[in-house]
């Protein structure tokens, strides 16, 4: 079998070690000759780089390993780019969350005003990495899961329409792991799903087994009673109690339309007041990540580096990585796997904007993806999606035109923001906070 070369862009991420572990666990499916880490922050990347080298050498010493801040070294002779960059790092995520909360508005990484601020920062960084790939390895595929995925995907569609970039998100996969357990499947891969929407903004409409038996009504009945939790779940079964709260909140979300099963992120759009009421404006999710996940991962990587072995490591493969290996394998070996991707609508949803970037099932092979037809969608879902997709388009307009007005319109239109007065206050605060990252808005 051919062996492949991979670069992980955003090598300093706390998710990088679990991606490495997933790659190493699947060498029989996706043989590798080279793994590279690339980040423009050498100090941060160094927190994980040596530990990743040890993980690789102990599993397969024939795999070449490089950790670099040089884009030419990183992107030369690669087959796949796994891109998960975070422009501004967690320090800026903290401000994305805290600034809206000052005004009683949802403060979240990818939803509402925080997601828009993050999106405006992310666009140039993602485009830069696409240009590196096209310059040094023009036949490579970029599997882009940099957040906020919808805004980034719209920017890719608009500015790099012919690039070999596939935009993905692991969030529905995370929910599907729980859905599989709720319905009694051994694995989510035993399910054949139908899903449509935008990123972090969609619905499951069908879940069948391999024999064609439909389970969606069983899932709806369960979620109306328990949310997306197992019947006997409690917070102790979750690494973070907030994930348990999120899973439970699906009970309230599905009650608004009990004909299909919603993505849990709708809690921010449909129950924003609840989210604000249960968020400490001085200690948000970004702070929690720094104090928990970042300390845990960087600490374990430091231990591995010190002792010189990854034996008995507490680092684990994550669902964040599983989806990426599946997609790379489908592209490499033409498996025609069915996967959720973020792609131009082009009529797949017949009564929705053709140029919208929608999240729908696609068949993936060596030439890329082929979207599956969804058909016509109901008024409620269509209305929510139209409002949200135009917020995302306006953010990209603001980037392209350096327009204060377009960004103000994006915030004003967003379902999380109550009125234009609040939108303007949030925007002005964001401009001050993002001077080093945003284009100058005029």
Confirm whether residue 391 is marked as ligand binding.
no
Tokens of 405: 């007005």
Which DSSP string do the residues of 398-438 spell out, in sequence order? HHHHT-HHHHHHHHHHSTT---HHHHHHHHHHHHHHTTTTS
Residues near 102 by beta carbon (within 8 Å), at least 6 away in sequence: 281, 429
Confirm whether residue 29 is marked as ligand binding.
no
Confirm whether residue 351 is marked as ligand binding.
no
Q: Are strands 357-365 and 368-371 parallel, antiparallel or unpaired?
A: antiparallel
Tokens of 252: 């309230």
Instruction: Give the three-class secondary structure for 248.
Output: helix
Q: Which of 96, 170, 326, 429 is catalytic?
A: 170
The span from the CA of 71 to the CA of 12, in Å, is 15
Instruction: Give the three-class secondary structure for 3.
Output: coil
Q: Is 170 a catalytic residue?
A: yes
The span from the CA of 57 to the CA of 160, in Å, is 36
The span from the CA of 79 to the CA of 368, in Å, is 14
Q: Which of 132, 145, 265, 268 is catalytic?
A: 265
The torsion angle over the Cα atoms of residues 184, 188, 193 and 195, rounded to 10 degrees, is 110
Confirm whether residue 338 is marked as ligand binding.
no
Tokens of 186: 């051994």
Confirm whether residue 169 is marked as ligand binding.
yes
The torsion angle over the Cα atoms of residues 207, 208, 209 and 211, rounded to 10 degrees, is 180
Q: Are strands 64-68 and 192-198 parallel, antiparallel or unpaired?
A: unpaired
**Residues assigned a catalytic role:** 170, 265
Q: Which residues are annotated as a binding site?
A: 93, 147, 169, 200, 285
Q: Which residues are annotated as a binding site for substrate?
A: 93, 147, 285
């Amino acid at each position: 079998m051919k062996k492949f070369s991979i670069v992980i862009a955003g090598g300093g991420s706390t998710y990088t070690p679990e991606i490495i572990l997933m790659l190493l666990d699947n060498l029989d499916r996706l043989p590798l000759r080279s793994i590279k880490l690339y980040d423009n922050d050498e100090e941060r990347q160094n927190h994980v780089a040596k530990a990743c080298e040890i993980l690789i050498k102990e599993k397969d010493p024939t795999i070449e390993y490089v950790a670099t801040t040089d884009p030419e070294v990183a992107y030369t002779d690669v087959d796949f780019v796994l891109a998960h960059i975070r422009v501004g790092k967690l320090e800026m995520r903290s401000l994305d969350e805290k600034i809206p909360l000052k005004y009683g508005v949802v403060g979240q990484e990818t939803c509402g005003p925080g997601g828009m601020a993050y999106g405006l920062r992310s666009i140039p960084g993602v485009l830069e990495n696409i240009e590196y790939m096209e310059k040094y390895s023009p036949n490579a595929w970029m599997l882009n899961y940099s957040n906020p995925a919808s805004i980034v995907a719209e920017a890719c569609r608009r500015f790099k329409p012919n690039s070999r970039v596939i935009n993905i998100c692991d969030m529905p996969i995370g929910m599907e792991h729980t859905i599989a357990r709720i319905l009694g499947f051994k694995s989510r891969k035993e399910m054949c799903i139908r899903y449509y929407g935008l990123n972090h903004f969609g619905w499951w409409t069908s879940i069948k087994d391999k024999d064609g038996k439909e389970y969606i009504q069983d899932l709806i009945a369960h979620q109306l009673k328990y949310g997306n939790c197992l019947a006997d779940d409690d917070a102790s079964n979750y690494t973070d109690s907030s994930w348990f709260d999120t899973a439970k909140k699906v009970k309230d979300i599905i009650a608004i339309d009990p004909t299909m099963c919603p993505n849990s992120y709708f809690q921010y759009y449909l129950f924003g007041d609840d989210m604000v009421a249960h968020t400490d404006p001085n200690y948000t999710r970004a702070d929690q990540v720094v104090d928990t996940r970042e300390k845990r991962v960087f600490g374990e990587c430091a231990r591995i580096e010190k002792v010189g072995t990854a034996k008995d490591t507490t680092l684990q493969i994550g669902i964040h990585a599983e989806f990426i290996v599946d997609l790379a394998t489908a592209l490499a070996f033409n498996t025609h796997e069915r996967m959720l991707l973020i792609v131009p609508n082009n009529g797949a949803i017949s009564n929705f904007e053709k140029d919208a970037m929608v999240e729908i099932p696609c068949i993936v092979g060596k030439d890329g993806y082929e979207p599956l037809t969804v058909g016509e969608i109901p008024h409620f879902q269509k209305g929510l999606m139209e409002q949200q997709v135009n917020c995302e388009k306006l953010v990209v307009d603001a980037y392209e035109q350096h327009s204060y007005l377009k960004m103000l319109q994006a915030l004003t239109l967003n379902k999380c923001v109550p009125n234009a007065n609040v939108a303007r206050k949030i925007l002005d605060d964001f401009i001050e906070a993002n001077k080093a990252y945003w284009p100058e808005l005029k």
